[in-house]
Amino acid sequence: MSAEYAGRIRLEIDETTRVATITLDRPAKLNAVTPAMAADLVAAVQRCNDDHGVRAVVLTGAGERAFSVGSDVTALDGYATPWDFRNRTDYCDALRRLLKPSIAAVNGYALGGGLETALSCDIRLAADTAWLGAPEVKLGWIGGGGMSAFLSRAAGPSNAALMLMTGDPITADQALRWQLVSEVTPAADLRPRAHELAAAIAQRAPIAVETAKINLRAAASMSEDQALEYERDLQTICFATEDAQEGRRAFAEKRAPSFERR
């Protein structure tokens, strides 16, 4: 099943693997995000959240040149006031509201808001042709979609400062060394690998996977003691589900479990 959104967002759902693919589909403009695309991305994320048949999401960019170069700079003057700009629909916020596990398949340039978009996903894979950067400082501003917080958390404060203060991009191999991405693959293998990984995750107990996602996000802002207590509470919730009972039965019967998200 697929859906086209007017703002150049494409959503495809594979009912066999239970993997949804969201594609930023404006390749002639390096998948730069317009306000209309941002609104449609919100709608696509909501659709994935509402569809219990979707168990994992892959996010990528159309074409071979770019994942996304972030917001379309030519559209930024369309905001009547700085306050309107501050309260715009933000595509990174939308992705962080995604309940399902998400994988960014970074297939080319991931710059500015494009890098923030990738950082908003749970797992990042990159093509060996990818470049990642935060060039906003070269234009007179800084990122506002979580760049500083998520970049420093992923790459470390010094590496984040280097990227944020120079605005210069780094290669996929450098991103791998800095742990900004989990894997680097040949460009032709990127999307198949992302879907292979998403399909594997989709076979796991969905409540447990979604709870793991919640736990990871929460632990980043908690003390160690709070994080341990919160994890134990979430474990108890998962343990009480029908899927957990099915997992134990399947283990005892030496068969593959059949999880129903209950």
The residues assigned a catalytic role are 116, 136
Distance, CA of 47 to chain centre: 15
**Strand pairing report for 9-14 and 2-5:** antiparallel
CB atoms within 10 A of CB 15: 10
**Pairwise CA distance, residues 262 & 253, whole Å:** 20
**Pairwise CA distance, residues 72 & 112, whole Å:** 10
Where helices occur in 167-256 by DSSP H, the ranges are 172-177, 190-202, 206-219, 224-239, 242-253
Reduce the DSSP state of residue 249 to 3 states and report it: helix
For the chain, how many helices (H) and strands (E)?
11, 11
